Structure 1
Amino acid sequence: MIQIYNTLTREKETFVPIEEGKVRMYVCGPTVYNYIHIGNARSTIAFDTIRKYFEYRGYKVNYVSNFTDVDDKIIRSAKDEGTTPQALAQKYIKAFKEDTGALNVKTACSHPQVVDHIDGIIQFIEELIAKGYAYESDGDVYYRTRKFKGYGKLSHQSVDELEIGASQRTGQEQDKKEDPIDFALWKTAKEGEISWESPWGKGRPGWHIECSVMANQHLGETIDIHGGGEDLQFPHHENEIAQSEARSGKPFANYWMHNGFVTVGSDDEKMSKSLGNFVTAHELLGKVDPMTLRFALATTQYRRPIPFNEETLGDAENNLQRIQTAYHNAQFRLKQAESMVDTEAESELAKLEEEFVTAMDDDFNAANGITVVYELVKWLNHYIEQAEISQEVLQQAVEKLEKWLYIFGVTLKTQELLDEDVEQLIEERKTARANKDFSRSDEIRDLLKAQGILLEDTAQGVRWRRTK
């Protein structure tokens, strides 16, 4: 059974869905004011991998991930680029879809946007006001944080600790609050800013309210899993819990999952736009093979940090090449395999399957899961060298490798057909070898190598693979 580390309880718990065989999953998406950086991509990839493993285990996943398209950062960036917030948001939503598509991220079942949920947000806030959990102050609306008895239960902070930090803040917004730890649900719009009419005047939503509303509308008042980066635990997810549970009187999410950071430099500093140490996925995809980047970001257990450097990418490239080579060789050997029963090999494959599921069931431990993939590759390399092998078993192994790599978001490349000239050169080389004309044989090998085609002479015939 799948075990999930629940940030709320700080324990691993057996996953029990609200509806048998189904998963309701909400993951906080990007604020679309720029291209996503590698840290953002890591979060998207981590939860895409988790989603795909749930599906591998037979669950039907309703996966919702939002776009924050109304925000102070968007307004500022739109001014800098000389465009409207709406146009800027659409530009970077399109870029997000293109970049994550290149990284084999499966499209969410729904990608809700804030601008499409304004009526629902206003209604949600009105209900909080009616219950005494929110109040209007000079056109703004704030949440009475202290009134919600469970505040701080996700981030494991006390209200008193939060008050000490909040008391240091100053400014017009703080002057409007009843309590320094209260947070904004609705903000009065400044002159010329994007805004909507509301019972409290023209304004726009606060950041935290949007996810409560969109999760509620698309998945229900209680969902199975809420995910996001570990930096969202507080205040974003903490505030989502307070808003949602005050309104419904029900748990907002049964399991809270948070992925670790991508780190850079010798001090393992968190990658972020605010620190200016980020690399965008858009930029990197122009330099690095998308499958190499996906492999590097998907094969570390999601809660652990990932150091982003040349060594990380180099290791990913080498390991992926090993897998790809074994896959090509197995496809080649399928043509010469026999239709026969091989119960010992079937048993070995079943054992590997059990090990893979055990690894991934343990809080989606991708590092241990990919280790089993390497064991399968090792097994494949040994099996295809045997004189007689089962075509059926080898096909099972190849399909298993494809399915496991799909979970990690990697599509294995099938061997492309050689063009007519190269096919003729391979045939000519065979003839040269048969005539003991080894000089010509070596010459053809070198010529093909220069064209990015590597030949391997085996007992079963000549294999080839592209190296570029």
Structure 2
Amino acid sequence: MRRVFPVFTRKLSHVCSLKPFKETKWLMPNGNPIGAYVYNCVADQKVPVILSDPHIATWYSCGPTVYDSAHLGHASCYVKIDIIQRILKEFFRIKLVTAMGVTDIDDKIIQKAKETKSDFRTVAKQYEHEFWLDMASLNVEKPLIVARVSDHIPAIENFIKKMIDSEVAYVTNDGSVYFDTEKYDSYGKLQKMQDSGEPADTYKKNKMDFALWKGQKPGEPSWTTTWGDGRPGWHIECSAMVSKFFGSQVDFHAGGIDLQFPHHENEEAQSCAFHNTKQWANYWIHIGHLHVKGDNKMSKSLKNTITIPQLLSQHSADTFRMACLMSNYRYPMEYSDELMKTAESVLNKFKFFLKDTYNYVNNNAIENGDYKYQILDSLQKVEEVNLDVLKSDFDTASCVNNLLNLVIKTNRVMKLETKEFYPIPVLLIAEYITSVLMKLGLKLQDVSESIEHNSLIDTLVEFRHIVRQNALGRKDKELLNACDIVRDKMKATKVQINDSEKTPSWVFK
């Protein structure tokens, strides 16, 4: 027996008058709780994650419409989705079967093809290829299944035909097919109130009805079906492809917050109608927008976009991912120079700490090492608390903050002016922090740099340190200024030096 979480929605009639409130519910799945809770827009609260198989989950993400280059708004969405997927896989040991839909036939793609006097397939392939390169540069893992709409027309046709046959969809005089929202009693459950549907159409029965199939227009690509020529509507493609791969139910369905209505609302409606079920997607994951200059969403229409190569010319992929980790995935993230400087500073604190732990363990101490159980207790507490915060709607910001506090405590121990030497707890803490950050998708180093290059930088940094210490002792301002110039020039080449009275360290920015 499924438990239910009630929410209340309004339904619009064909004249847009509001009917009385009616109750719809999020249905708790039968199966195995994994101990995590995630926000669900239908229940409007955090709900337990329950899987039919305790070790396997299905995940579908709405992918790009490939008519132009991706920008940072897309990047923040897919990086945050990637982070959540990594948490499920790395921290909760879930075998995640991931799929992403790629819209390669659409009004905007057709328009771009006309403008460039090329085939729509050429446009789509060009920008899809660019999209995957951008995602790889951000260390976003590619889904196991990439579903392009044009490859799944037969499955889409079959999906629509079944709904026509069951009379929840109807064919219009222009060869289009619409979903009849009056026939689906739970329409509106993902968003409590809607006051607008798709653009008005003389063929539609109700304002909120939406297109499953668009009748052929002169000069546009089309496919032949039993009811007429045309092409798929936007919403149907995801439902048909997900059903083809995952059957009558999907565990997680993700996308930007702007897709909650109408796209996800319409997906849920048509999928429930097709499968004759009350709940199709068990967990909706909606990613907040990336904003610029206050409340402005980053979008091509506002002409305020930054491309991913432009970002990476100024900041590393790790820095951008850290900015995403420090924010809540459900809420807007405001992109600014201040945000990126803060993210870079936090990232460097971890990098310097890991360098300092190496230097600490490999110093010239002659004392025997000790365990320092108090430090190990701190490590254990952070491990437990971090697992708890990640279980609570993937709270990565608290996780990062807990790691920073552990760094502060460990730094105090390493800088004690005593003869005590604690290599084992320090190494265990460094290993734990490295493990967590890498599980969240950070690389923590520039893998393109060779060992010989690193050794050369070590030598230069050590030489500068000796010169600087002598200059400090003699209060030689001219020599200290020269050391600062060397530091700044190194920073310009992506090497950040951290001066210390004992042993200096450095990291790649």
Q: State the TM-score, normalized to the length of structure 1.
A: 0.88
- In 1, the alpha carbon distance for the partners of 2:190 and 2:460 equals 66
- In 2, the alpha carbon distance for the partners of 1:246 and 1:16 equals 23
Aligned to 1:32: 66
Q: 1:451 to 1:202 in 2, by over 3 A?
A: same
- Aligned pair 1:76/2:111, yes or no? yes
- In 2, the alpha carbon distance for the partners of 1:290 and 1:45 equals 10
Q: 98, 122, 142: which is aligned to 2:133?
A: 98
**Which ranges in structure 1 are unaligned for 5 or more consecutive residues?**
none
Instruction: Give the Å deviation of 1:201.
Output: 2.5
Aligned to 2:424: 392
1:263-297 deviation digits (Å, cap 9, x = unpaired): 2224x122222333332324322333222222222
- In 2, the alpha carbon distance for the partners of 1:131 and 1:239 equals 17
Q: 212, 224, 228: which is aligned to 2:251?
A: 224
Q: Is the 8 A contact 2:214 2:233 kept in 1?
A: yes
Structure number with higher relative contact order (C-alpha < 8 Å, ≥ 6 residues apart): 1
Instruction: Give the Å deviation of 1:152.
Output: 0.6
Q: Is the 8 A contact 1:208 1:240 kept in 2?
A: yes
**Higher percent of residues as strand:** 2
How many aligned positions are there?
A: 456
Aligned to 1:358: 388
Classify the secondary structure of the residue corresponding to 1:2.
strand
- Aligned pair 1:115/2:133, yes or no? no
Q: 1:116 to 1:392 in 2, by over 3 A?
A: farther
Q: Is the 8 A contact 1:429 1:444 kept in 2?
A: no
Instruction: Give the Å deviation of 1:404.
Output: 2.1
Classify the secondary structure of the residue corresponding to 1:66.
strand
Aligned to 2:286: 258
Aligned to 1:373: 403
Classify the secondary structure of the residue corresponding to 2:266.
helix
Q: Is the 8 A contact 1:48 1:105 kept in 2?
A: yes
Instruction: Give the Å deviation of 1:220.
Output: 2.5
- In 2, the alpha carbon distance for the partners of 1:49 and 1:400 equals 18
- Aligned pair 1:41/2:80, yes or no? no
Aligned to 2:504: 463
Instruction: Give the Å deviation of 1:455.
Output: 6.8
Instruction: Give the Å deviation of 1:344.
Output: 2.5
Classify the secondary structure of the residue corresponding to 2:145.
coil
Classify the secondary structure of the residue corresponding to 1:50.
helix
Q: 165, 172, 178: which is aligned to 1:142?
A: 178
Q: 1:358 to 1:191 in 2, by over 3 A?
A: same
- In 1, the alpha carbon distance for the partners of 2:286 and 2:501 equals 48
Q: Is the 8 A contact 2:257 2:287 kept in 1?
A: yes
Instruction: Give the Å deviation of 1:186.
Output: 1.0
Instruction: Give the Å deviation of 1:418.
Output: 4.0
What does 1:402-421 correspond to in 2, within 5 Å?
A: 402-413=434-445, 417-419=453-455
What does 1:56-75 correspond to in 2, within 5 Å?
A: 56-75=91-110
Q: 327, 330, 336: which is aligned to 1:300?
A: 327
- In 2, the alpha carbon distance for the partners of 1:211 and 1:397 equals 44
User: Which letter does structure 2 place at the counterpart of 1:257?
Assistant: I
1:118-160 deviation digits (Å, cap 9, x = unpaired): 1100011111111111122231111111101111111123xxx
- In 2, the alpha carbon distance for the partners of 1:223 and 1:329 equals 46
Q: 1:449 to 1:276 in 2, by over 3 A?
A: closer
What does 1:109-258 correspond to in 2, within 5 Å?
A: 109-138=144-173, 139-157=175-193, 162=195, 165=196, 169-170=199-200, 174-250=201-277, 251-258=279-286
- In 2, the alpha carbon distance for the partners of 1:101 and 1:156 equals 37
Q: 1:370 to 1:176 in 2, by over 3 A?
A: same
Of 286-295 and 25-34, more deviation after overlay is shown by 286-295
- In 2, the alpha carbon distance for the partners of 1:169 and 1:137 equals 16
User: Which letter does structure 2 place at the counterpart of 1:92?
Assistant: Y
- In 2, the alpha carbon distance for the partners of 1:444 and 1:282 equals 34
- In 2, the alpha carbon distance for the partners of 1:433 and 1:121 equals 71
Q: State the TM-score, normalized to the length of structure 2.
A: 0.82
Classify the secondary structure of the residue corresponding to 2:105.
coil
Q: Is the 8 A contact 2:291 2:298 kept in 1?
A: yes
Q: 1:312 to 1:334 in 2, by over 3 A?
A: same
Of 337-346 and 142-151, more deviation after overlay is shown by 337-346
**Which ranges in structure 2 are unaligned for 5 or more consecutive residues?**
1-34
What's the % identity of the aligned pairs?
31
- In 2, the alpha carbon distance for the partners of 1:257 and 1:119 equals 28
Q: 37, 41, 50: which is aligned to 1:7?
A: 41
Q: 280, 284, 305: which is aligned to 2:311?
A: 284
What does 1:322-333 correspond to in 2, within 5 Å?
A: 322-333=349-360
Aligned to 1:449: 487
